[in-house]
Amino acid sequence: MSGIDLMHACQARGSLATATSLHTIVRHDEFAKSHLMTSMAADIKVRDFRIRPIEFKLERPIDTGGGVIRSWPVILLDLHTDAGIVGVSFAGCFLPMLLNPMVAMLESLGEMLHGDTLSPKEMDAKLRSMARLIGVQGPLAMAVAMIEIAAWDALAKAAGLPVCRLLGSAPRPIPLYKTVSAMLPQRVEELSRQALERGYAGIKLKLGHADARLDFDLIEAARGCCGADFPIMVDFNQALSVPEAIRRLRSMDELGLQWFEEPVDAMNHTGQARVAHAVRTPVSLGENWHSPAEGEQHMRSGAADLIMPDLIAIGGVSAWMQTAAMAELHGIPVSSHSYTELSAHLLAATPMAHWAEHVSVFERLLLEPARPVGGALIASDRPGFGIEWNEDAIRHSQVN
């Protein structure tokens, strides 16, 4: 963890004395980072954005405890600079109705940044300051995060470095699991076997049936083909009430699962803590945190034994890394949520890195999507995040 992140984390925990004692380290660290960033980007300006809304039908619907997803709407962002460097990012919108509003917001935000220096943190601060009176939330927050991520990609390309090296770390292997998006035993068995054959180090199941016995059937189906010791996580997608979560999760405590993910409403902070304190299996939260401060509240309360912030939802690269720094102070392992190819770089720079998640919905957009290597995910060693668009696939899915 860098000096800057450590001080931010100490301040978030209210540890002013610790933060003050780190002041000298932070000043040197901040000076070194500032000098590096300035030398790389002082002469590079934001020119304009290319924004593409796309939607594609899923070959097989994604079944979750929170509903069925049959199509996947995505926004692609290309941030063009006057140096010819292009930073990229993307975000899943979940609801097709959000595509056009997202395009409009990104267009307006791009106009605000035209001619600004390529500086991810300063660009992010400018956009957040503009929206202070209404708050950066919902689709606006997604748009701001996309811009910040694309700016990091462009900055790393300008430096000729992978993003993880710009953050101070080399690419390194992170255990990679495959999310099995099905809620019928036969389909779970089929997808679990595929994950095993393709070399994933673990799998995650989608649970949350109204009838608890059906959840047990899914775990049994996965265990039957993967074996008793193979790592299995389970995700309830907020499907349970607090009393039901406590009952059901306690009955699953003996099944050797890696974690219970989001068993109850993500906004019910008190209920999440009650559940975590009532069960022995670790509880994982974070995909619906919308700021490092929200993550700190959950970690401080003991609601999260493990965390998995979502790169878009948390606010972008800087916010994700700040949340990971706080987790390090709490001694809490950090995993990623979706955005596999991007998250690989952040996990490489995270001392408490735990697992990387692979969800295949974005694969068709990329020329070289992530694949397990010896059961692990390794960040690309190409400049930036190392991703390139699959233009043929995008052309067939673009929304006019």
List, by residue number, the catalytic residues.
206, 337
* Beta bridge partners of residue 53, listed in sequence order: 75
Local structure of 113: helix, strand or coil: helix
Structure tokens at 216: 């047990």
Amino acid at 13: R
Q: What is the DSSP string of 50-87?
A: EEEEEEEEEEEEEEETTEEEEEEEEEEEEEEETTS-EE
Measured CA to CA, the distance from residue 264 to residue 288 in angstroms comes to 12
Residue 301 burial (C-beta neighbours within 10 Å; 0-12, 13-18, 19+): middle
E strands, 263-372, are 283-285, 306-307, 356-358
Phi, then psi, of 308 in degrees rounded to 5:
-150, 75
Are the CB atoms for 342 and 380 separated by under 8 Å?
Answer: no
Measured CA to CA, the distance from residue 375 to residue 329 in angstroms comes to 28
